[in-house]
Amino acid sequence: MALDFTAAQRSYIRKRTQVRELDPSEMVGELNIVPFLDIVVNLIMFLLATTAAVLPISEIDAQLPTTSRAGRRGADSGNALNLNVTITDAGLIIAGARGKLAPGCETTVQGRVVTVPKSNGKYDWKGLSDCLTKIKTAFPDETQAILQADPTIEYEYVILTMDTLRARGKQELFPDLLLSAGVR
């Protein structure tokens, strides 16, 4: 028995059973990621090699303050200097067990005072070095100093203050630095 289809049915069957070529953009295939991975691996190796050679990695030798006086070197506990240098926006404050130093580093004063004020908006590193040299001649056996900085002070100034505290040229001043939280 022959099936009789209408013209519309035959057209529909032909259209549905016809094999057609897919456009290359319609083809489903896998993305070849091997060249991409080669590039990524080479970039990672290049970055690791240049980072190790280019980045200056430094270490700052500093200790945290302790609560006991047993670990102090230099002056005995009865005549301890307890040198404290604070970096503020106005300048550098130098204090000891006997009080804050006045500008010029000759006498001690009470209250708010900046020992080495900024000049022309810049810290006076020579003034700090001169003041520390005077302190070192008065306390030759003292090697310890505590450094404090306001949170708004840039890191560069903390490092420059540490360098000034440690030595003046070849003369060693206060090489045993302790870092402390800044005060406001």
111-126 pLDDT, tens digit per residue, is 777 878 888 888 888 8
What is the structure's pLDDT at 39?
94
Can you give the C-alpha Rg of the chain in angstroms?
37
What is the structure's pLDDT at 38?
94
- 132 in any annotated domain: yes
Lowest mean pLDDT among 47-56, 81-90, 114-123, 144-153: 47-56
The whole domain housing 107 covers 92-181
**Entry pTM:** 0.56
- 56 in any annotated domain: no
- 55 in any annotated domain: no
- 7 in any annotated domain: no
Per-residue pLDDT tens for 76-135? Answer: 455 677 888 888 888 888 888 777 877 877 777 777 778 788 888 888 888 888 888 888
- 41 in any annotated domain: no
- 127 in any annotated domain: yes
Structural domain tally of the chain?
1
- 100 in any annotated domain: yes
Separation of alpha carbons 127 and 105, rounded Å: 9
- 52 in any annotated domain: no
Mean pLDDT is highest, among 8-17, 55-64, 166-175, for: 8-17
